[in-house]
Amino acid sequence: MKTSNTDTVWQTIREETAREVQSEPVLASFLHATILNHDSLETALSFHLAHTLASPAASALLVREVLEEAFAADPEIGCAMRADICAVYERDSACEQLSVPFLYFKGFHALQSYRVAHWLWQQGRVSLALFFQNRISCEFGVDIHPAAKIGRGILMDHATGIVIGETAVVGNNVSLMQSVTLGGTGKEHGDRHPKVGDGVLISAGAKILGNIHIGEGAQVGSGSVVLKDVPPHTIVAGVPAKVIGTPDCDAPALSMNHGACCG
């Protein structure tokens, strides 16, 4: 199997993994099957996710066919997954290798699985998209409606309990911590979920409800309940959330300074 020399993310993951195989024999089996046997990030990920998303209702073989169909049809998914891997690597101080999110971070796995479900939704394959949504929710504790729109370079840290609704839009380079909700209000159809700008950081347990805008570079404090627009480059916190300051950088999602919200 040959490897494209120009895909530096994949190259790096392979090199890191080749070293791990030497140092941890217990994982050699898993690392060979999941990474070293494959010649692209996409085939490796379809292998890895297929094992995780498989169930008595849909075998790993069947799930993988869908994943590969999506990866082949929409190259944007491949671009986004590379940006997501780099986002975790750059922002999560507990992550020191590119291979770590790929192999072990369920936030990354949930996000890529959603990207496939979103592609299915766009193709009008609503039932299969819902099927994926269910598997993602059961396996990872992350519930993203397949119609939601999510940009590149996203970090979903820890990830358990994240909920993102049908008409939500999330920009690029956003960081979402565990138990964050981007939810709707009321049962009417139509546009009813938050729009989150680029570079936004939403801390653990924050609930953002309704068709409101979280401006570019804004930061939402942990445990906040946000029901109104948040201006760009401001920090909001509290129940209900109020503006309490200004982030220490243009894109708080990148600096991950959760403590800033009570400065």
x-marked contacts with a second copy along 17-36 as a string, rule CB under 8 A: ---x--xxxxxxxx-xxx-x
Q: Please identify, using beta-carbon distances, which residue of 5 and 22 lies nearer to a second copy.
A: 22
Q: How many helices (H) and strands (E) does the chain have?
A: 9, 15
Does 189 participate in binding a second copy (rule CB under 8 A)? yes
Judged by CB under 8 A, the chain residues 123 through 152 that form the site for a second copy are 125, 127-128, 130-131, 133-134, 137-143, 145, 147
Does 260 participate in binding a second copy (rule CB under 8 A)? yes
Does 40 participate in binding a second copy (rule CB under 8 A)? no
Judged by CB under 8 A, the chain residues 190 through 229 that form the site for a second copy are 192, 203-205, 207, 209-210, 221-225, 227-228
Least Å distance between CB 172 and a second copy?
18
What is the C-alpha end-to-end distance of the chain, expressed in Å?
53
Total residues contacting a second copy by CB under 8 A comes to 102
Q: State the greatest distance between any 2 C-alpha atoms of the chain, in Å, as a whole number.
A: 57
Q: Which residues on neighbouring strands pair with residue 155, listed in sequence order?
A: 175
Distance CA 218, CA 246 (A): 8
x-marked contacts with a second copy along 151-170 as a string, rule CB under 8 A: -------xxxx-x-xx----
Does 240 participate in binding a second copy (rule CB under 8 A)? yes
Question: Which of 201, 194, 162 shows the shortest CA–CA distance to 178?
Answer: 162
Question: Which of 174, 159, 171, 225 shows the shortest CA–CA distance to 195?
Answer: 171
Does 81 participate in binding a second copy (rule CB under 8 A)? no
Which residue is listed with tokens 């653990």? 204
Least Å distance between CB 55 and a second copy?
7
Does 58 participate in binding a second copy (rule CB under 8 A)? yes
Q: Please identify, using beta-carbon distances, which residue of 8 and 185 lies nearer to a second copy.
A: 185
Judged by CB under 8 A, the chain residues 91 through 110 that form the site for a second copy are 91-94, 100, 103-106
The alpha carbons of the chain give a radius of gyration, in whole angstroms, of: 19
Q: Please identify, using beta-carbon distances, which residue of 75 and 240 lies nearer to a second copy.
A: 240
DSSP secondary structure of 53-110: H-BTTB-HHHHHHHHHHHHHH-HHHHHHHHHHHHHHHHH-TT--STHHHHHH-HHHHH
